[in-house]
Chain A
């Protein structure tokens, strides 16, 4: 939904968000994106290794959410991601939308550790996102 207020959209909110992310030691995250697969029986039953690409997004800031300890529960984090960076990768990969990019993302790597995306939210100004907020949880996958 776009903002119907009689104001022209400008890039200021995006630039401000990027500046704020950088000012609090913004870092880099890698989105592990699956390649588009050809629909074969083997790829549907986990027999064909999917091709992956690491997509770099920056600046990002990660923060641990308030711990609510639960037996066997993993820690949860919130990753604040620059919308400018996401937009750039959406255009570079030609995937149509940020939502499509996130749906192709299997894991997010920050500082060498992998996390799974639990949910995605965005903050918008003038109908355009200036920040994406990814709720992440630690993965327990083994490196092979």
Chain B
């Protein structure tokens, strides 16, 4: 499943660079697209604002098929405080912009499965695919507006996985 998780994240990251190249984050001294995998970074006391954070959660397996189908639930969290120049009054608009970016990022709902532990990444035989995101209601915490979306990501287990 790790290859599917990596492929899903990198597909979204690549799409984000096209959708909004200005959404970036400085992580460990490197300027990256504004999306990160929570479990692959240092522990966060609070998720950073104006970036997408992927959190992997539930896992399901269907072995009654020719190839084992694995499904993993990905929660994509994001929050904003608005911009300083607007005194935070544009936080609703910023959250809407992130909603739209996320919706654009997950389409199309598939990507080739790659093995990123090889250099260069090796293309595998199957694809990773997912369903439409289910958005949660926005949560207001003082000046912080946050939301998350859940996506079920599917992939077939290949030999050697």
Q: Which residues of A contact B (CB under 8 A)?
A: 34-39, 41-47, 50, 103-104, 106, 116-119, 139
Contacts and interface: CB of A to CB of B under 8 A. Distances in A.
Contacts, number: 55
State the main secondary structure of chain B at its contact with A: mixed
Contact of B117 (A47, A106, A119, A139): A47
A58 to B, nearest CB: 23
B65 interface: no
B98 interface: no
A126 to B, nearest CB: 26
22 contacts: A34-B28, A34-B29, A35-B28, A36-B28, A36-B29, A37-B29, A41-B116, A42-B117, A43-B30, A44-B9, A44-B10, A44-B13, A44-B40, A45-B9, A45-B37, A45-B116, A46-B39, A47-B6, A50-B28, A103-B26, A104-B29, A118-B45
B89 to A, nearest CB: 23
A38 B40 CA distance: 15
B6 A106 contact: no
Contacts of A139: 43
A47 B119 CA distance: 11
Contact of B30 (A37, A41, A103, A117): A37
B142 to A, nearest CB: 16
A139 B10 CA distance: 29
A44 B36 contact: yes
**Which 7 residue pairs across A and B have the least CB separation, nearest first?**
A36-B29, A46-B40, A39-B30, A106-B42, A34-B28, A45-B6, A118-B45
Nearest to B30: A39
Interface in B4-56: 5-6, 9-10, 13, 26, 28-32, 36-37, 39-40, 42-43, 45
A95 to B, nearest CB: 8
B37 A44 contact: yes
Nearest to A116: B43
B137 interface: no
Contacts of B42: 34, 106
A39 B32 contact: yes
Nearest to B117: A47
Contacts of A37: 28-30
Nearest to A137: B45
A47 B13 CA distance: 16
B121 interface: yes
Contacts of B28: 34-37, 50, 104
A38 B116 contact: no
Contacts of A35: 28-29
Contact of A38 (B9, B30, B45): B30
A46 B121 contact: no
